[in-house]
Amino acid sequence: MGRCSLRESIRIQMIGSLTLTIQPPWSHQLNRRPTPILIKCESGGVPLTKQGQRFFSSLAATAGVNDPAAANRIIKKFVASSPKAIALNALSHLLSTRNSHPHLSAIAFPLYTKITETSWFDWNPKLVADLIALLDKQGRYDETEALISQAVSKLKFRERDLVQFYCNLIESCSKHDSKQGFNDAYGYLSELVRNSSSLYVKRQGYKSLVSSFCEMGQPNEAENVFEEMRKNGVKPSSFEFRFIIYGYGKMGFFEDMERMVSEMEIAGFEVDTICSNMVLSSYGDYNALAKMVSWLQKMKTLQIPFSVRTYNSVLNSCPGIMSLVQDINNLPLSLGELVKVLKEDEALLVKELVESSAVLDNAVECDVSEAKLDLHGMHLGSAYLIMLQWIEEMKCRFKAEEKCVIPAQITIVCGSGKHSSVRGESPVKSLLKKMMVQMKSPMKIDRKNIGCFTAKGHVVKNWLIPV
């Protein structure tokens, strides 16, 4: 079907029929009494309830016999028997760019349609924008036009709400990499921004245009919008600077990235930890380890604190360290041993990281009853390096006997795998378990909490500082 311009003619269309075709097989049945238990998707997308899992499995089973009517009955039954949170969770999962059931994406529109018929339904511009982006990617232009027309009809006399909808739309299209949808959304949003006298509308519009162009891999266009902001009297914020910095960085345009960092500083905005992590991640994506060393040194000079994400960005980019933590049978078990086996750039990166104790300090809680190291949020390389730092720190504390109060219990929190790509399998826990065995550590997996290693404080001291 061809597509008409909504700017030329806004018209209200009826929502299409529920007919659909679904790809490959699955089987299961609907849970009549849903309880909202979330399951982490393997793709890292929107966590899905068990009821949603059963719903998708039942739908997929109809694909084998190509029975749209049966699929529609399953959708109707699911919506009728599900609380609001569970129904919207299933829809949000289908609309996510990291949907782990892409073969079922065709049901997003009929599911949304059925949801709109419920008594609890509230029209949500973000949800509609996500649905439009998905439909546009699927080439379902009639439904797309109808949904946009309905949105404009609802919001045309509320300019702030309308600009928010257009912002949601262009951001959703950019995340779905829907080029035609992105171009159309750009037309709607840029026209509204140009014609509006509201500073709020202009600021919100420009903000979304900059971030969306960067998401689409066009940081040069984002910078053009950035310059247009300035010409039209809208002062850019650190948000726009950061997006353009990261946009150039993701494309490997380091000179432009570094130029924008300088412009950001000249404009009076601090280069903080968030911005620094974007720069480090960009260098890491292109294996520019020497540049990462220089940037860590700059952070130290400017007193920019490291974060867990700093560790993750740096260490994920080190092939030597990644190889070590994947082959955990040959792990160096001290910082000194680690530095010796690494190539020069990686060794320098490790030295720069461990010279600061900020990340370790934030991960440790200590009082008389318990000393706890929390590794949540750390990727494998980060957890490994922090563990080596922590061991060195604990040795130093225990050696200072007069000043050191030995806590009753030592705990290392590594997680049980609830948030891992494969539920119940924690790579960090597996790494620590191997390290404990190799180091002959007395710390064991806690019987009450399998996401922790524990031991008595005095036992750990005797292990680290043998008499």
Residue 284 lies in a domain: yes
Residue 186 lies in a domain: no
Looking at the structure, do residues 320 and 296 belong to the same domain, yes or no?
no
Looking at the structure, do residues 354 and 438 belong to the same domain, yes or no?
yes
Residue pair 436/410 in contact by the 8 Å Cβ criterion:
no
Looking at the structure, do residues 316 and 285 belong to the same domain, yes or no?
no
Residue 27 lies in a domain: no
Closest CA to 169 of 147, 191, 200, 138: 147
Residue 243 lies in a domain: yes
User: Parallel, antiparallel, or unpaired: how do β-strands 38-39 and 48-49 relate?
Assistant: antiparallel
Looking at the structure, do residues 382 and 320 belong to the same domain, yes or no?
yes
Residue 31 lies in a domain: no
- Give φ, ψ of 410 to 5 degrees: -110, 130
Looking at the structure, do residues 311 and 273 belong to the same domain, yes or no?
no
Final residue of a domain: which of 259, 275, 302?
A: 302
Looking at the structure, do residues 315 and 279 belong to the same domain, yes or no?
no
Domain that holds residue 253: 237-302
Looking at the structure, do residues 316 and 370 belong to the same domain, yes or no?
yes
The secondary element (H helix, E strand) that includes residue 95 is helix 84-95
Looking at the structure, do residues 407 and 289 belong to the same domain, yes or no?
no
Q: Note the pLDDT tens digit of each residue in 223-258.
A: 999 999 999 999 999 999 999 999 999 999 999 999
Final residue of a domain: which of 255, 283, 302?
A: 302
Look at the chain and report how many structural domains it folds into: 2
Q: Note the pLDDT tens digit of each residue in 142-179.
A: 999 999 999 999 999 999 999 999 999 999 999 999 99
Residue 445 lies in a domain: yes
Looking at the structure, do residues 271 and 413 belong to the same domain, yes or no?
no
Looking at the structure, do residues 316 and 460 belong to the same domain, yes or no?
yes
Final residue of a domain: which of 302, 326, 359?
A: 302
Residue % of the chain over a pLDDT of 90: 73
Residue 344: CATH number of its domain: 3.30.1370.110
Question: For the whole prediction, is pTM greater than 0.85?
Answer: no
Residue 404 lies in a domain: yes
Measured CA to CA, the distance from residue 203 to residue 206 in angstroms comes to: 5
Measured CA to CA, the distance from residue 135 to residue 133 in angstroms comes to: 6
Looking at the structure, do residues 444 and 340 belong to the same domain, yes or no?
yes
Q: Does the pLDDT value for residue 378 go beyond 90?
A: yes
Residue 335 lies in a domain: yes
Q: How confident is the model at residue 341 (pLDDT cuts 50, 70, 90)?
A: very high
Looking at the structure, do residues 410 and 266 belong to the same domain, yes or no?
no
Measured CA to CA, the distance from residue 79 to residue 29 in angstroms comes to: 14
Q: Note the pLDDT tens digit of each residue in 177-191.
A: 999 999 999 999 999
Closest CA to 432 of 350, 392, 373, 363: 373
